[in-house]
Structure 1
Amino acid sequence: MKRIILALLLVSAIALWFAFDLGQYLTLDTLKAQRDTILVYYATHPLLVLAVFFLVYVAVTALSVPGAAIMTLAAGAVFGVATGTLLVSFASSIGATLAFLASRFLLRDWVQAKFGARLKGVNEGMARDGAFYLFSLRLVPVFPFFAVNLLMGLTPIRTWTYYWVSQLGMLLGTVVYVNAGTQLAGIESLSDIASPALLGSFAALALLPWIGKWIMGIIKRGRVYARWQRPRRYDRNLVVIGAGAAGLVTSYIAATVRAKVTLVEAGRMGGDCLNYGCVPSKALIKSARVAAQMRHADAYGLERSEPQFSFRAVMQRVHGIIAAIEPHDSVARYTGLGVDVVQGYARIVDPWTVEIALNDGGTQRLTTRSIVIAAGAAPIVPDLPGLEGSGYVTSDTLWEEFAKLDEIPRRIAVLGGGPIGCELAQAFARLGADVTQVDKANRLLAREDAEVSALIEAAQRAAGVTVLTGQEALRVETGADKRLILHKDGEERAVRFDALIVAVGRRARLTGYGLEELGIDTNATVVTDDYLATIYPNIYAAGDVAGPYQFTHVAAHQAWYASVNALFGQFRRFKADYRVIPRATFTDPEVARVGLNEQEAAEQGVAHDVTVFPLHELDRAIADSATAGFVKLLTQPGKDRILGVTIVGEHAAELLAEYVLAMKHGLGLNKILGTIHTYPTMAEANKYAAGEWKKARKPESLLAMVERYHTWRRG
């Protein structure tokens, strides 16, 4: 109601202004004609004239109606430079701030709700450098000040900051116009004041803050490097620390552009994904899926059977698959590509020097123009009493430890309800273990929407997993019978296990690389700017060590930005783009997502429409007995623009690719609906989901008219 009242008052005031043609009193001719009369009245009633002028000026700028430039000339013509400048400076700033506040009160919430996702970068930039941008705009009269007032009201810049920056930024222009007013007789039009030369001078003046920012950047970099001695020459153009996804792609790009690059890795080439994560877990999941299909073969009209297998053979298959992929990431391949691969532990001695403790003994020092830290992440091991003596394994160590076993552990406890915990718990349960999955959150996959969590929990239970959510792990008791002690609602319970898998998340590897000595900031990850650079402009970070996402495909994505900025940043640098990031959890059914889900949209206040297509209506899903799941679309209200997609179902990760492409290139649901999809395929679910969105928005009134037309045609 307050917004409505204010809007009506503003509209009424502006309407009255134009209805009574009040602008006729704020023209150059009127000012010239009335100047002497005003001066006489000012001489007898100075305070009244000053007060009326001040209030009218505030009103004109607050309502954003024409006339402020003429009033500024009048201030010089009537009051002189000093008094006129003082009046106009404060009146214009107060009026501008009132317009700013009106715009903020009336429109900001609506604009942020409707366009919040698109404006995220703008909001962050304004929160960080809003005063700087506003000052630059205020220095250039070419930008309509009323537009600046209204648009700035939609941003998060603070009101006080807006006021004082506006007053300071408009001061020079105010002085120019007020001074011109003292020479009123010689002015025929406003263009006599705002000449191209003058406007060009203002534009050049507006560049000063940017030049100052550039100079400050040079000074800041000089201070960062001040205590270090720069080498006179460099052994390498780039040294990359870590041969996981980020490190491999970074060094590959550097070698491709003929840079001299050294890749340092202390452990296995390929990093966590090849050796401990993506590859072995998916190999295990495939074996477990086959075992589950055998156990439920009657669903396909076949005779069900209990799978007979050697657990050692299953683990050998896992390691065999790692070995089959290993050549893609091997020392030999990358050496052949032109990368100098050194096996050892790297430590950054100064911003241009890396010291390597070689695996085969000795040390090597290399000077380099740039460095990329791609050290990855390691499993988080909670500080849990009794854990160290329990023989626990993590998602990294279980592959070697379980490969030594002839039989699968009979009882497995999995601590963690995230993607890794869910994948491992389901796989080992399908292979016949008695698995208990524990998480302190109230549901599995807590970052997903509630119905996704419910569906996955049902799938876990169907696979034989005992799911215990909302349970806090207190301690581990060892002895003849190992037990994980949990706590919930004041009561303790024990989970007996033969093997304990800790899968509560991963954290960046930050120690041992010399970051502390160099003063490189770390806060859960290496702190970088938008270009992936640390406080040292020649030292970058990419992958899990940099965050904010711990996905192999994001690490490879960041590697492009890190390598290009490190090698060619003196010409142009590129901001890392995180607008469209897909992710997947490879349970059965799979969970795949890109963009926002409902939970995140609600938390961020993003307005959205929801469309759901259940897979039990899809012909191919019915034929494959894979009807569990759905496609859920979040779209901008009234438009087909995709804000986010969640798919739960068989091959969900593959189905998601179409939406990733659409979001990346700005294609809406109408484009997907108009694309032919092969029948019968799971991919048709994407088209049918778009069809559900379209059907919910069919033009009922138009269809009613068409129906009457067809009735008329039938006679």
Structure 2
Amino acid sequence: MKRSLVVLLIIALVISFFAFNLNRFLTLESLKQSHDGFVALKAQSPWLVAAVGFVLYVLVTALSLPGALVMTLAMGALFGLVVGTLLVSFASSIGATSAFLASRFVLRDTVQQRFGGKLKAINDGVAKDGALYLFTLRLVPVFPFFLINLLMGLTPMRTRTFYWVSQLGMLAGTLVFVNAGTQLAQLQSLSGILSPGLLLSFVLLGIFPMIAKKVTTWLQGRRVYAKWQRPKKFDRNLVVIGAGAAGLVTAYIGAAVKAKVTLIEAHKMGGDCLNYGCVPSKALIKSARIAHQMRHGEHYGLTSCEPNFSFRTVMARIQTVIRAVAPHDSVERYNELGVEVLQGYARIVDPWTVEVTLNSGDIQRLTTRSIVIATGAQPFVPPIPGLDEVGFVTSDTLWDAFSKLDAPPRRLVVLGGGPIGCELAQSFARLGSAVTQIEMAPRIMIREDEEVSELAHDSLTRDGVAVLTGHKALRCERELVDGHERKFIVVEHGSTEQRIEFDALLCAVGRVARLTGYGLEELGVETRRTVVTNDYLETLYPNIFAAGDVAGPYQLTHIAAHQAWYAAVNALFGDFKKFKVDYSVIPWATFIDPEVARVGLNEQEAKEKGIAYELTKYGLDDLDRAIADGVAHGFVKVLTVPGKDRILGVTIVGEHAGDLLAEFVLAMRHGLGLNKILGTIHIYPTMAEGNKYAAGAWKRAHAPQRVLAWVSRYHTWKRGGAI
């Protein structure tokens, strides 16, 4: 209601201005004709004329009416350079701020809700450098100031910042025009004020803040490096610490552009993904799924049977899979690519020197122009009393620890209800363990929509996992009964404690960045759970970068590889051009059965951020291939901009969801809507048809009913009937 009244008031004032032809008073000719009268009036009541002129100036500026320039000249003609400048400076700033606030009150919420995704980069830029942008625009009067006022009102810029930057930025232009007003008699036209030389001066003024920012950045860099002695020449162009996904891709790119690159790894090439994470876990998931299918053979018209297997052989197969993938990340391959690989522990001595303690015991020092920290992350071990005494494994250590077992742990407790905990809990349950999964949050997979969490919960429960949500681990205990050790974990649900006996305990409550031992503390590189970087992945030192899990904000192998491109290019070519990391389209998947895959927004995130959306959902229980394969469950859920086919986010739950998501990732990355997906031929029968049918569901919901009604009448007429 208030918003409508403000809009009506503004419209009424603007209409009145033009209806009564008030703009005729705000021309240079009118000002010249009325000049003597205004001078006489000012001599009688100077304060009244100043006050009325001030208020009128504020109104003209606030309503974005034409004539502010003429009023500026009038102030100069009546009050001279000093007083005229003061009046115009404050009146124009107050009026501009009023227009800014009106735009914010009337339009900002609607614009941000409708275009929030597209405006995110602009909002972030304004939040970080908005004052500089505004100051630059204000210095160049060729930009329509009323448009700047209205557009800035749509951004998150603070009102106080807008006011003082506007007053300061418009001061140069105000002085020029007020001074022109003092020479009113000599002015023949408004265009005569802005000579080419003066315009060039304003442009140079506008460029000045940018140059000043560059100089400031250079001076800050000088200050950061002040206490260090820079080498006169360097052994390497790039040193990369860590040979996980981020480090490997960074080194690969560096070598591909013929830079001299050294890659340092203390333990195993391939990092966590190859040796402890993605590769072994997916191999385990596959074995567990086959065992599950054997138990449910009747579902496929076959005889169900209990799988007969050696758990030791299952674990040996996992190591075979790792060995098969390992050559892709091996020392030999990277040497062939032109990367020098050193196996040892790295410590950054100064911004250009890395000391390597080789596994042989020798110490080697390398000087380099740039350094990329890609040391990854490790499992977080919660501070639960008694945990060390009872013993535990993590997602890193279980592969070695369990490889010696002839059978999977009889009773396994899994701490954590995130993707890692869910994948491992389901897999071990399918291989025969009695699994209890403990999650402190009210539901597992808390980052997904509630219905997705429920489906995951139901799936794990059907496989025999006892899922305990809302349970907090308090302590671990051990007892000796008749010479046999018994291990318990004590959890709290509400005010009730419960003891759960186990044979093995798996901690899967998250991962933390590896930050210690690399010299970061001595260098003063800031860390807050991860290495703190800017948009270009630079640390405190512009030549030291961080990428992958150690940098965050996502702990995903494919995001580490994505960041690696930016780290490598900025490190090697940043003197010419730097690239901000693009996180606009981030996909991920959880490989439980059924798989859960997502890109962009889901419903709960859209609601939290206040982003308007339309929901389209297609159930995979209706898909021919899913029915034929006996996996007719799950859905494709698409969030779109209201009334449009532009995709805001997609969640897929079902067989091969991670593979199906790729089509939507491509569409979002390149701005393709659901109409393009609907118009793409999909092979029949495939699971990928689910994407097409989801797009078709959106199309049906947006069918032009009025047009179809006329088309129906047309067909009736063509049959010879009455319309």
Q: Residue 533 of structure 1: CA displacement? A: 0.7
Aligned Cα root-mean-square deviation (Å):
0.8
Of 198-207 and 641-650, deviating more is 198-207
Aligned residue number for residue 236 of structure 1:
236
Q: Once the 2 structures are TM-superposed, how far is the Cα of residue 161 of structure 1 from its aligned partner? A: 1.2
Q: Quote how far apart the aligned CAs of 1:7 are.
A: 0.1
1:36 corresponds in structure 2 to: 36
CA offsets, 1:401-456, max 9 Å, x none?
A: 00011111100000000000000000000001101111001111000000000001
* Cα displacement string for residues 185-227 of structure 1 (whole angstroms, at most 9, x for unaligned residues): 1111111001222111101011111111111111100110001
Q: Indicate the residue corresponding to 1:136 in structure 2.
A: 136
Give the alignment of 1:17-96 within 5 angstroms.
Answer: 17-96=17-96
Aligned partners of 1:82 and 1:572: how far apart in 2?
Answer: 45
The amino acid across from 2:337 in the alignment is: L
Give the structure 1 partner of residue 658 of structure 2. Answer: 653
- Tell me the distance in 2 between the aligned counterparts of 1:491 and 1:196: 81
| Seq. identity, % | 67
How far is the alpha carbon of 1:108 from its aligned partner? 0.8
Q: Which residue of 2 aligns with 1:494?
A: 499
Counterpart in 2 of 1:465? 465
The AA in structure 2 aligned to 1:251 is A
Paired AA for residue 250 in structure 2: T
Give the 3-state SS of the residue equivalent to 2:468 in structure 1.
strand
Residue 340 in 1 paired to residue 340 in 2?
yes
Match of residue 563, structure 1, among 561, 565, 568? 568
Which residue matches 2:97? 97
What do residues 670-706 of structure 1 show as CA deviations (whole Å, max 9, x unaligned)? Answer: 0000111001100000000000111111111111122
Tell me which residue corresponds to 1:360. Answer: 360
Question: How far did residue 112 of structure 1 move?
Answer: 1.1
Alignment of 1:332-481 (within 5 A): 332-479=332-479, 480-481=485-486
Corresponding residue for 1:674? Answer: 679
Give the match for residue 482 of structure 2: none
Residue 306 of structure 2 aligns to a residue whose secondary structure is: coil
The offset of 1:713, in angstroms, is 2.4
Partner of 1:107: 107
Q: Could you tell me the TM-score, scaled by structure 2's length?
A: 0.98
The one-letter amino acid paired with 2:573 is: F
Q: Secondary structure in 1 aligned to 2:253?
A: helix
Partner-residue secondary structure (3-state), 1:155: coil
Which whole-Å deviations, capped at 9, do the CAs of 1:242-295 have from their partners, x for residues lacking one? 000011111111111111111100000000000000000000000000000000
CA distance in 2, matches of 1:157, 1:409: 57
TM-score between the two structures when normalised by the length of structure 1: 0.99
Structure 1, unmatched stretches of 5+, are none
Report how far residue 362 of structure 1 moved. 1.8
Q: Tell me how many residue pairs correspond in the alignment.
A: 715
The corresponding residue for 1:275 is: 275
Alignment-derived partner of residue 528 in structure 1: 533
Secondary structure at the aligned position of 1:346 is classed as strand
Query: Any idea what SS the aligned residue of 1:125 has?
Result: helix
Look up the match of 1:629.
634
The structural deviation recorded for 1:302 is 0.5
Aligned partner of 1:616 in structure 2 is 621
Distance 1:251 1:455 in 2: 41
The letter for the 2-side match of 1:711 is T
Q: Does 1:508 align with 2:513?
A: yes
* Aligned-residue offset at 1:399: 0.3
Amino acid at match of 2:500: V
Quick check: 1:574 aligned with 2:585? no
Shift of 1:130: 1.4
Report Cα offsets for 1:12-41 as digits up to 9, x if no partner: 000000101100001011111110111111
Alignment of 1:196-345 (within 5 A): 196-345=196-345
Give the distance between the partners of 2:375 and 2:677, measured in 1 at CA: 40
3-state SS of 2:381 partner: coil
Deviation at 1:709, TM superposition (A): 2.0
Gaps of 5+ in 2: 480-484
Q: Deviations over 1:49-69 (max 9, x none)?
A: 111111111110000010000
SS at the partner of 2:365?
A: strand
Q: Does 1:688 align with 2:688?
A: no
Q: Which residue number corresponds to residue 589 of structure 1?
A: 594
Structure 1 CA distance for aligned equivalents of residues 466 and 54 of structure 2: 75
Deviations 1:103-151 (A, max 9, x none): 0100111111111122122212212221111111110001100001000
d(CA) in 2 for partners of 1:121, 1:299: 50
Residues 86-106 of structure 1 show CA distances to partners (whole Å, capped at 9, x for unaligned) of 111111111111101100100
What do residues 475-522 of structure 1 show as CA deviations (whole Å, max 9, x unaligned)?
Answer: 111232111110011000111110100000001000000000000010
The residue type paired with residue 578 of structure 1 is Y
2:549 is aligned with what amino acid? D
Q: Secondary structure at 2:708's aligned position in 1?
A: helix
Between the aligned partners of 1:246 and 1:49, the Cα distance in structure 2 is: 68
AA matched with 1:334: Y
Shift of 1:712: 2.5
> CA–CA distance in 2 between the matches of 1:709 and 1:327?
67
1:557-604 CA-partner distances (Å, limit 9, x unpaired): 111110111111111111111111110000000000000000111111
Which amino acid is the alignment partner of residue 386 of structure 1? G
The one-letter code of the counterpart of 1:122 is: I
